[in-house]
A = this chain, B = another copy of it.
Amino acid sequence: MQSSDPFLFQLFLIFVWAKLFGEVFERLRLPAVLGEILAGVLIGPHGAGLVVPSDAINDVAEVGAIFLLFTVGLEIQPQDLLSVGRTSLYVALAGITLPFVCGFAYMLSQHHPPQEATFVAVAMVATSVGITARILGDMNLLQTRPARIILGAAVFDDILGMILLGVVAGLVSTTGTAWVQLLVTTLEALAFALIMLFYAPRVVRRMEPGLERMSTRDAPLIIALAICLGLSYAAVKIGMAAIIGAFFAGLAFADYSPRWNLRPRVFAINEFLAPFFFFVMGARLNIGVFDRRLVVSAIIISMLAFLSKLLGCGLPVLRSGWKTAAKVGMGMVPRGEVGLIVALVGLQTKAISESAYALVIFMTSATTLAAPPLLKILFRREAVAAPALAGEEGSAM
């Protein structure tokens, strides 16, 4: 064991620094994730150089990303999808299309190669609803109509975002005629998603009696972990990103998560591993690339990400009044893990440059920081009348 001090040392140091910055950010009422990334920026190789993550740490970070997306999938209750219905689907679709188009067009106009433009555009797509859910939860507004539309749309958004990432990652990892390839990988990603959405939960249901007969302690957890690792690897094998497999593995187990008590236990693994992912993410950010031109680009990309999501998600609910539209749109603005992972996949496969990577991190941080205060203002009135409104608006859906 003595042979691997440096690994243990990095493990300790990164965990403590990431969590320390996370705690400071939480106290400032900022997202902890941004603190963990900042820790990587500051003490990583491009910052103080205190920790240069070794290959083993990068591998641990990868497993961290897998568990992160596994927990995201586990959190999604398929019944949520049914209850919110079409409105949420339209919100999600428009909220994906507009940012993608805006991002892609802007990147091309700035003479970035199409591949890089695609990656940055995909990274602009995926909403991270955790922050919104937390704010609305704190205000006791999760049962209001806008909140339910947001949460439903976020589910579709996650799934569609994953399929999009699957397509893009597939395109990078293969060579061939561009359009044929695009078709093939799109079909592949769609087929994977459909199988996982509709067939996999049934397989899990059928496994149940067998699981209860198994002699291994905690058999459901073990099987869930094995399937998570297996699908992550399968996703890589068919040319998508590992996290896509992990996400859909989570979805497949979501129904049984409460019954098998999976959530707190998978979350514990995630609590241990995710900080390494966010730290490594920050450690790879070279602040040196931020010259005047890139800062301007970063600000424009962030504004585009903000406005396109606000508009895209607001428009489908405009007939419910502009206030509801603004609430829904603003609730969908924060970006998060998925966008960051897209950028990291791009950087690792050399599909995007360090500058484009920096753009995505800037955009993610900006949208995540800008949305919460504005959300609070928009929802302020409802917060007062919340208990009465909740039932009324809920039944109006």
Q: Are B1 and A214 in contact (CB under 8 A)?
A: no
A164 to chain B, nearest CB (A): 16
Residue of B nearest to A11 (CB): B229
A50 to chain B, nearest CB (A): 15
Q: Are A19 and B348 in contact (CB under 8 A)?
A: no
Each complex incorporates copies of this chain amounting to 2
Is A236 engaged at the interface, CB distance under 8 Å to the other chain?
Answer: yes
* CA–CA, A50 and B269, complex, Å: 27
A104 to chain B, nearest CB (A): 22
> Which secondary structure dominates where chain A touches chain B?
helix
Fill in one digit per residue for A260-276: 1 if any B CB lies within 8 Å of its CB, else 0.
Answer: 01001111110110000
Taking a contact as CB atoms closer than 8 A, the residue among B1, B225, B236 that contacts A348 in the complex is B1
Given the complex, which residues of B lie within 8 Å of A3, measured CB to CB?
348-349
Q: Are B268 and A229 in contact (CB under 8 A)?
A: no
Q: Are A59 and B56 in contact (CB under 8 A)?
A: yes
Given the complex, which residues of B lie within 8 Å of A4, measured CB to CB?
58-59, 62
Q: Are B16 and A230 in contact (CB under 8 A)?
A: yes
Stretch of A149-157, A216-224, A286-294 with 4 or more beta carbons under 8 angstroms from chain B: A216-224
Stretch of A20-28, A136-144, A312-320, A324-332 with 4 or more beta carbons under 8 angstroms from chain B: A20-28
Q: Which residues of A1-35 are within 8 A (CB) of B?
A: 1-5, 7-9, 11-12, 15-16, 19, 22-23, 26-27, 32
Q: Are A236 and B5 in contact (CB under 8 A)?
A: yes
* CA–CA, A245 and B3, complex, Å: 16
Is A226 engaged at the interface, CB distance under 8 Å to the other chain?
Answer: yes
* CA–CA, A265 and B262, complex, Å: 10
A154 to chain B, nearest CB (A): 19
* CA–CA, A55 and B54, complex, Å: 11
Is A232 engaged at the interface, CB distance under 8 Å to the other chain?
Answer: yes
Q: How large is the interface on A (under 10, 10 to 19, 20 to 34, 35 or more residues)?
A: 35 or more
* CA–CA, A3 and B264, complex, Å: 31
Q: Are A2 and B268 in contact (CB under 8 A)?
A: no
* CA–CA, A397 and B213, complex, Å: 39
Q: Which 4 pairs between the two chains have the least Cβ-Cβ distance?
A: A265-B268, A26-B215, A12-B229, A56-B59
Instruction: Enumerate 28 A-B pairs (CB-CB under 8 Å) in ascending A order.
Output: A1-B62, A1-B236, A1-B243, A4-B58, A8-B62, A8-B63, A8-B233, A8-B236, A9-B233, A15-B229, A19-B226, A22-B216, A23-B214, A23-B215, A23-B216, A26-B215, A26-B216, A27-B215, A32-B216, A56-B59, A59-B60, A60-B60, A217-B271, A221-B268, A264-B264, A264-B268, A268-B268, A269-B269
A-to-B contact residues, CB < 8 Å: 1-5, 7-9, 11-12, 15-16, 19, 22-23, 26-27, 32, 55-56, 58-60, 62-63, 65-66, 169, 173, 214-218, 221-222, 225-226, 229-230, 232-233, 236-237, 241-243, 261, 264-269, 271-272, 341, 344-345, 348-349
